[in-house]
Amino acid sequence: MTDTSAAQVSAPAAHAERDPGPRPPRRKSSSGPNPWLVRALVLVGTIAVWWLVASLGLVNPVYLPSPGAVWDAFVQANRTHPIAPGVDRMIRGEYNYYLWEHLLASLQRIGIGVGAGILVGVPLGLVMATVRWVGIVVEPYVNFLRALPPLGYIGLLIAWFGIGDVSKYWLLFLAAFPPITLATIGGVRGVREDMVNAVYTLGANRRQALTTVMFPATLPQVITGIRVATGFAWTTVVAAELNNGIPGIGGLAYQAGTELKTPITIACIIVIGVTALALDALIKLVERTVAPWHGKA
Amino acid sequence: MRHDRDVRIDGLAHTFDTGDGEGVRALDTIDLTIEPGQFVCLAGPSGCGKTTLLRLVAGFMEPSEGEVRVGGDLVTKPSAERGVVFQQPMLYPWMTVRDNVELGPKLRGVKAADRRETAQRFLDMVGLSDFAERRPYELSGGMQQRCQIARVLTNEPDIILMDEPFGALDALTRERLQDELLEIWRATGSTVLFITHSVDEAVFLGTRVMVMSPRPGRIVLDERAVFSTPEKNLDADEIRALPAYAELVDRVRHAIHQTEPSPSR
């Protein structure tokens, strides 16, 4: 079967495989300067201005320590160091934990909270989207829960589950599962009817239609829901650690702030922000790996 | 071939519920028997209910009146005996082209080696062997439609229902796919119900050409067309050059124009 339309379309792909020769630099010429370069320059500029303001003594270092002081605090928080200059007594990092241990403690909390959110949220969303009356009954409650700021009910959770980690797990779970559930529902409802009809005409039974079509078709939306939930859980965990949050990166930031240890507080804020970006990038990477078709089909 | 089951459409009618208690009558009492091996083309203006007819035969909806039987069995839901080629290829992007084509036998639990062999035969037939490990979204519209046709053929249905399968393609690809479909049909002897709004396509492909009037849909012309049959074995240009071909195109076109309530549509 000779076929020019196939040849036309496959041409670019085949070209890439067979012919590794130079390609016209189409993308670069049209999009101006490299965005990453611009971002790096802006970052360097920001730090330079910060450094200038601090070193000119324009602001009391208790309010705004220099970038160097923040870096020193960051390094010291990850080491065993003397409790004060010239004193023999040694201490681990800050409040007896290294900074990375504080970070790990917070990550572990959102891992458990979001993990439980996925385990409950995805099946709940699937059931709500496929069994009409469950959706009708449960959806208002999920929406209600999603609308609440988690810190509004942390007091209640502490009263129920104590001041330890259990109340924090509950808080993060309750923060994480509504976005996941709602995204799953959206995913199921967004599957084109004929996508499902097609698999029935190929001989699928109901179970096969769910596993071969509904689940994979919903996957990109579910991952988007997990991304939203993780971002939300991260801001929540940091705030939740205001109560009994050591070890915990939010607890450390708060505690250090109340003791006017501004350099370590700022170091924590930077770590919290960078971690949030890293988590988001990680989930995006997972999505590109498990649902490479998203946005293309 | 095992295609020996006819499709009998008996007093089929459909009214869509519009919520005002009256509804829209999309299809008016269709009686039609499709014999095994026939290539039935149903032409008509858009909105005439031809897609509704196809979806009823496919079992996607329940008819308001009447019934459809395949080899005597009442149609109540979609099933593998009635394959559907949708206008928009309903391929699954999480599977490769090959996995899409193998899907029907896989769902039935056919052994991997066997279904691979069947799938390969039809991938060859539609010229997609070199693209078997690609994802559907990496293919052109025409190739996606070929893949969908291969997927349905692999499943060996009693009848293939095609809903304007080439309607979204450019004119050149469309003609090529018509030629290919004709070759495939001559080789497999499948029974086909083919919906189109193109008169030329209907006359070119069909062994039987029907015209449907709009709202409510009713069959107003039912003619035998013999241009595509294997015995003739004419190629596309030869078929289109036949005087009888031009004559039937005229008759079908005339029938369609008569069905239209006003020239503004």
Cβ of A197 within 8 Å of Cβ of B80? The answer is: no
B37: left (phi over 0), alpha (psi -120 to 50) or beta: left
Residue A40 is inside which H or E element, if any?
A: helix A35-55
Residue A240, classed as helix, strand or coil, is helix
B100 contacts chain A (CB < 8 A) = no
The CA distance from A135 to A131, in Å, is 7
Instruction: Using the predicted structure, report yes or no on whether residue A199 has a pLDDT greater than 90.
Output: yes
Q: What is the Cα–Cα distance from B163 to B195, expressed in whole angstroms? A: 5
Query: Is B109 in the A-facing interface, judged by CB distances under 8 Å?
Result: no
For the domain bounded by B7-81+158-259, which CATH number is listed?
3.40.50.300
Token digits for B152?
A: 């349905």
Q: What's the full length of chain B, in residues?
A: 265
pLDDT for the residue numbered B265: 40
Determine the residue of chain B that is closest to A208 in CA distance.
Answer: B107
Contact B128, B69 (CB under 8 A): no
End-to-end CA gap in chain A: 27
Suggest the residue from B57, B87, B103, B151 to mutate for an interface test with chain A (most A CBs closer than 10 A).
B103
- Helix (H/G/I), strand (E/B), else coil: A191: coil
CATH assignment, A99-290:
1.10.3720.10
Chain B residues whose beta carbon lies within 8 Å of the beta carbon of residue A202? 80, 83, 103-104, 107, 151-152, 155
Per the CB < 8 A criterion, the answer to whether B49 and B212 are in contact is yes
User: Does B137 sit within 8 Å of A198, measured CB to CB?
Assistant: no
Mean pLDDT, to the nearest integer, of A254-258?
91
User: What 3-state class would DSSP assign to A163?
Assistant: coil
Nearest CB among A4, A9, A198 relative to B86 is that of A198
Our CA-based measurement puts residue B193 at a distance from the nearest CA of chain A, in whole angstroms, of 15
* Chain B interface includes A90 (CB < 8 A): no
pLDDT at site A295: 78
Predicted local confidence at residue B240, as pLDDT: 81
**How sure is the predictor about A191, in pLDDT bands with cuts at 50, 70 and 90?**
very high
Interface check A200 vs B, CB under 8 A? yes
Question: How far is it, in rounded angstroms, from Cα A118 to Cα A124?
Answer: 9
**CA distance to partner chain B, nearest, from residue A228 (Å):** 23
A151 CB neighbour count, 10 Å cutoff? 15
d(C-alpha B91, C-alpha B99), whole Å: 10
- Put simply, the answer to whether B104 touches A1 (Cβ < 8 Å) is no
Q: What is the pLDDT of residue A122?
A: 94
Q: Do B140 and A6 count as a contact with CB atoms less than 8 A apart?
A: yes
CB contact under 8 A, A198 and B90: yes
Task: Select the residue from A15, A199, A202 to test the B interface by mutation, using most B Cβ atoms within 10 A.
Answer: A202
The DSSP code sequence of B192-249 is EEEEES-HHHHHHH-SEEEEEETTTBEEEEEEE--TT-TTT---HHHHHH-HHHHHHH
Cβ within 8 Å of A, B 166-205: 172-173, 176, 180
CA distance readout (Å), B213 to A71, B175, B257: 79, 26, 9
Partners of B221 in beta bridges: B211
DSSP state, B85?
Answer: E
Average pLDDT, chain A: 86
Q: For residue A295, what are the CA distances in angstroms to A125, B143, B169?
A: 22, 20, 22
Question: Nearest CA of chain A to the CA of B183: how many Å?
Answer: 10
Mean pLDDT by 10 residues, chain B (265 residues): 76 83 82 90 84 91 89 88 92 94 92 91 89 91 91 90 89 87 85 90 88 82 76 73 83 79 48
The stretch A144-160 carries a mean pLDDT of: 90
Spell out which residues of chain A touch residue B90, defining contact as CB-CB under 8 Å: 192, 194-195, 197-198
Interface residue A208 vs chain B (CB under 8 A) = yes
Q: Give the ipTM.
A: 0.89
pLDDT at A17 over 70: no
8 Å CB contact of B90 and A6: no
pLDDT digits (tens, 9 = 90+) for A70-102: 999 999 888 888 888 888 888 888 888 999 999
* Residues of chain B neighbouring A198 (CB-CB closer than 8 A): 84, 86, 90
Burial of B161 (0-12, 13-18, 19+ CB in 10 A): buried
Q: Exposed, middle or buried, A95 (CB in 10 Å: 0-12/13-18/19+)?
A: middle
A293 touches B at CB < 8 Å: yes
Asked whether the beta carbons of residue B137 and residue A8 sit closer than 8 angstroms, the reply is no
Q: Is the pLDDT of residue A53 over 60?
A: yes
Give the pLDDT of residue A250: 92
Q: How confident is the model at residue A183 (pLDDT cuts 50, 70, 90)?
A: very high
Q: What are the sequence ranges of the domains in chain B?
A: 7-81+158-259, 92-156
